Amino acid sequence: MCMKLSGADVIIECLKEQGVDTVFGYPGGQAIIIYDALYRARNEIQHILTSHEQGASHAADGYARATGKVGVCIATSGPGATNLVTGIATAYMDSVPMVAITGQVPTSLLGKDSFQEVDITGITMPVTKHNFIVKDVTQLAPTIRKAFAIAKEGRPGPVLVDVCKDVTATQVEYTPQKPAKEDYQSIKLTDISTEDLDRAMQAINEAKRPFLLSGAGVGIAGAEREILELSETASIPVCTSLMGMGTFPGTHQLYTGMVGMHGTKASNYAVHNCDLLIVAGSRFSDRIVSNINTFAPEAKIMHIDIDPAEVSKNVRADYPLVGDIKKILKALLKGIVYKSDTDWTKRVLEWKEKYPLKYDKSDTAIKPQYLIERICELTKGDAIITTEVGQHQMWAAQYFKYNRFRQFISSGGLGTMGYGLGACIGAQLARPDKKVINIAGDGSFRMNCSELATAVEYKLPIIIALFNNKSLGMVRQWQELFFGGRFSQTSIDRGTDFAALAEAFGAKGINVNYPTQVDEAINTALAETCRPVLLNFEIDKDDKVFPIVPPGAGLNEVVDC
């Protein structure tokens, strides 16, 4: 049925077409007509007013990661749009589907240095899958629809749509359209020959020391069951990347933990000693590979990924398999020979037992590793965990047992401090049935702590577990280990009372100074149902993240103290 609508109403109708029920944003002059349309649609689309546009982009990101749906954020032109850039780049690096809609000055004022004019499509070109500027209202609906398709298809990512103000005001004929029902993750295996699949099957069956690295792409493709079946059928131990947490059960016997700079000794030793490394849905980042010259020196590499640009980009693949990970694994499983526990499997599991994650449990101070263990235990491992970036992020990855994908939400590729609180808000709105906990450091938290006001406004029972060591902990750790203990600008002991700050925002704040107070504080926070709780855990600034692979070292040179 065709109808005449303003451009702004077309945007709203297109969002409804795509099944969008929640958007995050902040209004402004060039987006004001869009916001007027949102007001009329307030019973159909929930708008979450954040404290800052960056918070909106992180919340949309967290919403997307928690659900697999496309997250949506909206901002005005100029600084409103540029404030989204860090969040867009974060989503781009971690393959998160997002559509960012920005207002722009009228077409007649483009290129004239108009008030709050900025070339946001030019600025975001390197950190989006695609972006658009809409100057013709007849192109608005097709562009919005295309933006959602691009954000979802293949390797997901963010798309920006910049809409000139006069376009949002202009009337146009609009015809509703149902989105295509195709699975955007689905890519046919036409580019993978039978010979390539047969070679890959043979390599797995003949390998004496196979090892499997499961990345986020496995979860995005919904291939967790296939990875588990491959591991159990061929008796292959499994590690995950930071972003791949939960793609393989964290409590499974064959799971050896995270790999890379802060990975377990068992995972890193297994990579170093395997003869076949099967990597699914991971891009071989420097935090995994470390020294490229000594990475998996005895192994052939099998790389399974949906993005052809990633295959052989950082590490040459002997068995490149490009396409839908789930379909590729299903095809491979048809030819995999069953094996019981092998000598190699036993060797890897011996490393796992001999070199567990460890910390000083005799200390009378609160240990950060202990905090993560207690959070995991008291939530029965069922919470969604978001993080800021730093030491606390690594402890959260190491000591919480993730048994499902979309349970660990963190900025991996960009390493965005200030990410976690916005992402926590988005994840809680997406999954009101789950307890969502943001593991934060005091340095990261203070960057976007104003989003506490957002959580209070919308009565979100999120928990902020603040690991307060009064320093920029990860940088300080590097300064001590690798820069002669020269602590340059990493002390942030500014006397901030974070519990009082939370109370000032209308949240609940609790100071926790001793290990005996930990369980009671966490349980109090878990019992809250309609407001955020900040738990200020005082930890020692000299606590460090171990294991660690020193810069320039190989994975076999990992140290744990």
Catalytic positions are 53, 115-116, 165, 474
Cα separation, 503 vs 513, in Å, equals 18
**Structure letter (DSSP) for residue 230:** H
* DSSP assignment of 243-301: TTTTSS-TT-TTEEEE-STT--HHHHHHHHH-SEEEEES----HHHHSSGGGSSTT-EE
Q: How far are the Cα atoms of 258, 381, 429 from residue 402, in angstroms, in the given order?
A: 11, 7, 21
Burial class (CB in 10 A: 0-12, 13-18, 19+), 412: buried
Instruction: Count CA atoms closer than 13 A to 290's CA, side-chain side.
Output: 23
Q: Please name the residue that has the structure tokens 């490149």.
A: 320
For residue 219 the two structure tokens come to 């979860």
Strand residues in 82-181 grouped as ranges (E): 98-104, 130-134, 158-164, 171-174
Q: Which amino acid is at 377?
A: E
**Residue 333 parent element (H or E):** helix 325-333
Over the Cα atoms of the chain, what is R_g?
24
188: left (phi over 0), alpha (psi -120 to 50) or beta: beta
326: left (phi over 0), alpha (psi -120 to 50) or beta: alpha
Using DSSP, state whether 223 is helix, strand or coil: coil
CB atoms within 10 A of CB 4: 9
CB atoms within 10 A of CB 78: 21
